[in-house]
């Protein structure tokens, strides 16, 4: 990794942390709050690509593991990984990687804007929603004993908001691509 890559990874980890300052919305029927940090993960993957986006999410998890309160609601420490939201947090790394990998494959400079928007949006949905949900739901079932069907059903609550987050990440990633075409050059 170059110095530029390290700076971008740290910057996007900071963006994900900053999105954690927005208060989480707790729901009575599931022990997982609605947070804005998954949007930062989508954005990191779309803008930085697979390796650097995953590195930004991994840096976030290192900060959590050493006890810094960088997750939404001021959470941090190793206990986060054993709680019901631990799978979603660990899934951030894989979500950013898959989002970035798909964005690298589907979005190119010089493509029509509509195709770039569609590529970023699809990458954010597949990586930022499906991949993160896979890790989150699996761990939620394991840690709480919740049946898989119930966990899948309850997670449908998050889909509309996550689609909005994917749309915002798409708009931001497209703006970065248009304004700074050399920034997303893949590492």
Looking at the DSSP bridge assignments, the partners of residue 25 are 34
**pLDDT for 29-55, tens place per residue?**
999 999 999 999 999 999 999 999 999
Query: What is the rounded average pLDDT for all residues in the chain?
Result: 94
Average pLDDT over residues 11-15: 97
Q: Is 33 helix (H, G, I), strand (E, B) or coil?
A: strand
The mean pLDDT value for 102-116 works out to: 93
Q: Could you tell me the residue ranges of all domains in the chain?
A: 3-179
Cβ atoms within 10 A of the Cβ of 61, count?
Answer: 18
pTM for this model (two decimals):
0.94
- Residue 159: its pLDDT value, please? 96
Domain 3-179, CATH among 1.10.3720.10, 3.30.365.10, 1.25.40.10, 1.10.1760.20? 1.10.1760.20
Residue 20, pLDDT > 60, answer yes
Helices (H), the chain: 3-19, 37-48, 50-65, 79-82, 86-106, 113-123, 132-144, 148-155, 159-179
Q: Is 184 a residue whose pLDDT tops 80?
A: no
């Amino acid at each position: 990794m170059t110095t530029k890559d390290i700076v971008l990874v740290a910057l996007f980890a900071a963006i994900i942390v900053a999105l954690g300052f927005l208060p989480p919305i707790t729901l009575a029927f599931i022990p997982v709050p609605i947070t804005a940090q998954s949007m930062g993960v989508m954005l990191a993957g779309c803008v930085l690509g697979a390796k650097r986006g995953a590195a930004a999410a991994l840096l976030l998890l290192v900060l959590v593991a050493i006890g810094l309160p960088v997750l939404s609601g001021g959470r941090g420490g190793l206990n986060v990984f054993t709680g019901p939201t631990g799978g979603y947090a660990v899934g951030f790394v894989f979500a950013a990687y898959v989002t970035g990998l798909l964005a690298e494959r589907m979005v190119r400079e010089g493509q029509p804007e509509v195709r770039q928007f569609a590529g970023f949006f699809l990458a954010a949905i597949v990586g930022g929603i499906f991949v993160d949900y896979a890790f989150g739901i699996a761990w939620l079932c394991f840690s709480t004993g919740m049946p898989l069907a119930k966990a899948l059903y309850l997670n449908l609550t998050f889909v509309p908001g996550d689609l909005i987050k994917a749309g915002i990440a798409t708009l931001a990633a497209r703006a970065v691509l248009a304004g700074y075409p050399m920034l997303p050059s893949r590492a």
